[in-house]
């Protein structure tokens, strides 16, 4: 009766996500390049659509930015099977807590819940093929302030002051964001059209240097997965909306 | 003592009488299927009566608060486990009642040496359109009736309950907005709690919101929303 959904699962013989230790080689299926940064309207979380297995493109329509509840979302990088299951577990846990306890779970508790799942995935992490390094964005209910957090695969959590990135293509993204943070224009001051443009340009940059990152092509109406988080909740942007912003933004 | 059939029947009859006596002062709860969604209403002075269970499921209950809480937790646990192991679409009112809530209620009712659940409930499931909405009226003994009409009321007296449903079916025409629907539910609430008859002047010209408002609880399973969780609490002052 304490609102903990995870403790409910073993009582009903339901296995929790995570990979058991076993021998033998396995294909490494990976999702790549997600990032988040503060803009004038809140936190913008972006990702590409590609999942790869070795040098094979496994899927080019993967959703990596997942809404956990009305005020938190996760961006996944790493093994999609484990990451998607983690996201589903968290979704149910947060909703279960909110409904059974008649109050939303605090941001700190949500962060701990993700830490716990990452730690429980230790065998998969050690074997290398079940590694997940997610980003988390959430709104503090008392202040209404959105924040970005990033995790190492063992579950340590860090708050990002301005931006965070994860996945194989994130090095280029982080380099550019670091440059902008230091010498401007500051991403945190960008209005929505410019922020959407920046997110798509960052993804194009990442795709330029990382074969596993699926690029975007604004000319072909192909854009990133984008979600904006602020005190009002989560807003997703369709391709057409992004095309509109792309046109509106300063060149 | 209760191994004799006659004694057992007597024990069950006593139990019904005891439960009815315990519930006799409880105030009614309502659930109505509307084009906007399913509207639930209860008036709890210092006690909640309307609850979110799952994405498209809501519960309205009257009775002892501890019993309501136990059933609410049971329903929420069963719904979330089912939604997690299968899919949210597999969580339906019918399955939740058949496999979880009704057996629990019936078991507890028949354990004549343990305390029974002191509750009456309505479980509502939002469908894609009004025809596929489900309103289930559940009693303390675990019996369930799936209502064919768009109005569900739970009240300790079944006679008054039927009269209220009949009156509301006549009153709640298609063209009413949520505010007018709530006004009529409040009238029905007042008639039931004061023991007035449903015959006579039907609608008062001006609606007096003041009487039950301190504990007035309103919620809507919103048909027009695009989010997964459709339940939202309504503030009576915000109703258009």
Question: What pLDDT sits at residue A25?
Answer: 46
Q: Is the pLDDT score of A28 beyond 80?
A: no
The answer to whether residue A194 sits within a structural domain is: no
Option in A8, A89, A95 nearest B77 (CB): A8
* Chain B CB within 8 Å of residue A100 CB: yes
Beta-carbon contacts of residue A87 (< 8 Å; ≥ 6 apart): A66, A68, A74, A76
Question: What pLDDT sits at residue A121?
Answer: 86
Closest CA in chain B for residue A90? B84
Q: Read off the CATH number of the domain in which A43 is found.
A: 3.60.20.10
Q: Is the pLDDT score of A17 beyond 80?
A: no
CA distance B84 to chain A (A): 7
E-assigned strands of A60-193? 65-69, 72-75, 135-139, 146-151, 157-160, 163-166
pLDDT in tens, B123-154: 999 999 999 999 999 999 999 999 999 999 99
Q: Is the pLDDT score of A53 beyond 80?
A: no
Q: Is the pLDDT score of A130 beyond 50?
A: yes
CA A229, CA A137: separation in Å to the nearest integer?
Answer: 8
Residues A138-153 have a mean pLDDT of 93
For the ranges A34-38, B7-11, B101-105, which has the lowest average pLDDT? Answer: B7-11
The answer to whether residue A85 sits within a structural domain is: yes
Distances (CA, A) of A56 to A29, A79, A81, A205, A225: 9, 14, 17, 21, 21
The answer to whether residue B45 sits within a structural domain is: yes
The answer to whether residue B183 sits within a structural domain is: no
For the ranges A84-88, A179-183, B188-192, which has the lowest average pLDDT? Answer: B188-192
Query: A135, A73 in Cβ contact below 8 A?
Result: no
Q: Is the pLDDT score of B213 beyond 70?
A: no
CA B146, CA B137: separation in Å to the nearest integer?
Answer: 6
pLDDT tier at A26 (50, 70, 90 boundaries)? very low
User: What value does the mean pLDDT of chain B take?
Assistant: 89
Query: B143, B119 in Cβ contact below 8 A?
Result: no
* Chain A CB within 8 Å of residue B80 CB: yes
Q: Which residue has the higher pLDDT, A68 or B236?
A: A68
Question: What pLDDT sits at residue A27?
Answer: 45
The answer to whether residue A93 sits within a structural domain is: yes
What interface predicted TM-score (ipTM) does this complex get?
A: 0.90
Q: Total structural domains in chain A?
A: 1
Q: Give the domain extent around A232.
A: 29-168+210-246
Question: What pLDDT sits at residue A153?
Answer: 85
CA A249, CA B145: separation in Å to the nearest integer?
Answer: 59
The answer to whether residue B166 sits within a structural domain is: no
pLDDT tier at A32 (50, 70, 90 boundaries)? confident
Q: Is the pLDDT score of A148 beyond 60?
A: yes
The answer to whether residue B188 sits within a structural domain is: no
Q: Which residue has the higher pLDDT, A4 or B218?
A: B218
The answer to whether residue B27 sits within a structural domain is: yes
Q: Do A99 and B84 touch (CB under 8 A)?
A: no
Q: Is the pLDDT score of A55 beyond 70?
A: yes
Q: Is the pLDDT score of B199 beyond 80?
A: no
Is position A143 annotated as part of the catalytic site? Answer: no
Highest average pLDDT, of A78-87, B120-129, B155-164, B185-194, comes from B120-129
Choose, from A32, A33, A62, A125, the residue flagged as catalytic. Answer: A32
Q: Is the pLDDT score of B196 beyond 90?
A: no
pLDDT in tens, B45-63: 778 999 999 999 999 999 9
Phi, psi of A42 (to 5 degrees): 140, -145
The SS3 call for residue B181 is: helix
Q: Give the domain extent around B29.
A: 5-157+212-238
The answer to whether residue B124 sits within a structural domain is: yes
User: What value does the mean pLDDT of chain A take?
Assistant: 87
* Chain B CB within 8 Å of residue A231 CB: no
Closest CA in chain A for residue B73? A100
Q: Is the pLDDT score of A239 beyond 50?
A: yes
For the ranges A42-56, A170-184, A230-244, which has the lowest average pLDDT? Answer: A42-56
The answer to whether residue A9 sits within a structural domain is: no
The answer to whether residue B195 sits within a structural domain is: no
Q: Read off the CATH number of the domain in which B96 is found.
A: 3.60.20.10
Option in B48, B76, B85 nearest A96 (CB): B76
Question: What pLDDT sits at residue B123?
Answer: 98
* Chain B CB within 8 Å of residue A120 CB: no
Q: Total structural domains in chain B?
A: 1
């Amino acid at each position: 009766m304490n609102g903990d959904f995870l403790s409910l699962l073993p009582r009903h013989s339901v296995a929790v996500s995570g990979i058991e230790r076993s021998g033998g080689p396995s294909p490494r299926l990976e999702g790549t390049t997600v990032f988040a940064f503060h803009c004038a309207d809140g936190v913008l979380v972006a990702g590409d659509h590609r999942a790869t297995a070795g040098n094979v493109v496994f899927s080019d329509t993967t959703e990596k930015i997942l809404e956990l509840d009305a005020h938190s979302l996760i961006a996944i990088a790493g093994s999609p099977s484990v990451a998607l299951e983690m996201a589903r577990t968290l979704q149910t846990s947060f909703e279960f807590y909110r409904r059974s306890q008649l109050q939303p779970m605090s941001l700190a508790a949500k962060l701990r819940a993700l830490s716990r799942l990452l730690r429980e995935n230790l065998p998969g992490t050690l074997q290398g093929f079940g590694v997940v390094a997610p980003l988390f964005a959430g709104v503090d209910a008392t202040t209404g302030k959105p924040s970005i957090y990033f995790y190492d695969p063992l579950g340590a959590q860090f708050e990002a002051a301005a931006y965070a990135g994860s996945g194989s293509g994130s090095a280029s993204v982080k380099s550019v964001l670091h440059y902008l943070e230091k010498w401007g224009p500051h991403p945190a001051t960008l209005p929505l059209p410019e922020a959407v443009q920046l997110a798509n340009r960052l993804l194009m940059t990442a795709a330029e240097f990382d074969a596993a990152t699926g690029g975007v092509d604004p000319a072909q109406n192909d854009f990133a997965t984008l979600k904006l988080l602020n005190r009002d909740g989560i807003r997703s942007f369709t391709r057409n909306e992004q095309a509109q912003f792309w046109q509106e933004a300063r060149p | 003592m209760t191994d004799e059939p006659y004694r057992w029947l007597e024990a069950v009859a006593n139990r019904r009488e005891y439960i009815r006596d315990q519930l006799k002062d409880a105030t009614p709860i309502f659930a109505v299927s509307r084009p906007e969604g399913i509207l639930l209403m209860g008036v709890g002075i210092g006690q909640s009566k309307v609850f979110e269970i799952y994405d498209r499921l809501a519960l309205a209950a009257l009775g002892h608060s501890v019993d309501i809480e136990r059933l609410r937790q049971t329903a929420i646990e069963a719904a979330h486990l089912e939604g997690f192991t299968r899919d949210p679409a597999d969580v339906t009112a019918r399955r939740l009642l058949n496999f979880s809530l009704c057996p629990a209620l019936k078991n507890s009712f028949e354990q004549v040496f343990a305390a029974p659940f002191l509750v009456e409930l309505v479980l509502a499931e939002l469908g894609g359109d009004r025809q596929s909405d489900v309103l289930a009226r559940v009693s303390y003994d675990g019996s369930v009736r799936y209502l064919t009409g768009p109005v569900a009321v739970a009240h300790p007296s079944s006679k008054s309950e039927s009269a209220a449903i009949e009156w509301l079916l006549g009153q709640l025409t298609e063209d009413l907005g949520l505010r007018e629907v709530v006004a009529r539910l409040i009238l029905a609430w007042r008639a039931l709690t004061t023991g007035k008859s449903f015959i006579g002047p039907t609608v008062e010209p001006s609606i007096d919101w003041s009487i039950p408002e301190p504990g007035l609880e309103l919620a809507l399973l919103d048909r027009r929303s695009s989010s997964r969780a459709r339940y939202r609490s309504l503030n009576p002052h915000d109703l258009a």
